[in-house]
Amino acid sequence: MALLDELKSDQLAARKLNDRLKADLLTTLIGEATQITTEEFKRGVTEVTDEKVVATVAKFLKNTKLTLENLATERARLVEAGGDTSKVDERTMAAETELAILSSYGPKQMTESELREAINDFRAKNPDANVGTIMAHLKTSFGGQYDGKTASMLARA
């Protein structure tokens, strides 16, 4: 089953179960993943591939992680100021749920040690490799399976 079909099936199931958070998240994800830009259309792209859906899931995951970081900062600020953190806590729980939902559709993420090993293997085969060539290799070989910031940090080490 194509990933898009799986998303649509899960969205329908979430609606039937009245799981608004999951249904709304999947609706937004499907909408974004199925958009074909003018540039893509000009290149002859007329259907949505699993790669595009995975890229959209990765984008949503990145944004949700950023939201969680911002919420943690906001919560710390409120605690320090003696403010009410209940709304931030509610939003944090929702974002964590979204993260769990999205993670089930994305590719398995490499651990830091797996990423380090892949970089070291590439360096062993290409001793003259710079950060740019290492990152290009990671993108072609492991696209969507690693955190870019971590990869960049490891490639520079």
Question: For 63-98, what is each residue's pLDDT tens digit?
Answer: 999 999 999 999 999 999 988 989 999 999 999 999
Q: Which residues contact 54 (CB under 8 A, 6 or more apart)?
A: 3, 105, 106, 107, 144
pLDDT over threshold 60, residue 31: yes
* Predicted confidence band of residue 1 (pLDDT cuts 50, 70, 90): low
- Predicted pLDDT of residue 20: 95
Count of CB atoms situated within 10 Å of the CB of 133:
14
In the chain, % of residues over pLDDT 70: 99
- Predicted pLDDT of residue 109: 77
Contact 41, 14 (CB under 8 A): no
Contact 119, 154 (CB under 8 A): yes
Count of CB atoms situated within 10 Å of the CB of 4:
19
| Pairwise pLDDT comparison (72 vs 126), residue with the higher score | 72
In three-state secondary structure terms, 146 is coil
Query: How far is the C-alpha of 15 from the C-alpha of 102, rounded, in Å?
Result: 17
Query: How far is the C-alpha of 107 from the C-alpha of 142, rounded, in Å?
Result: 10
With 0-12 / 13-18 / 19 or more C-beta atoms within 10 angstroms meaning exposed / middle / buried, residue 122 is middle
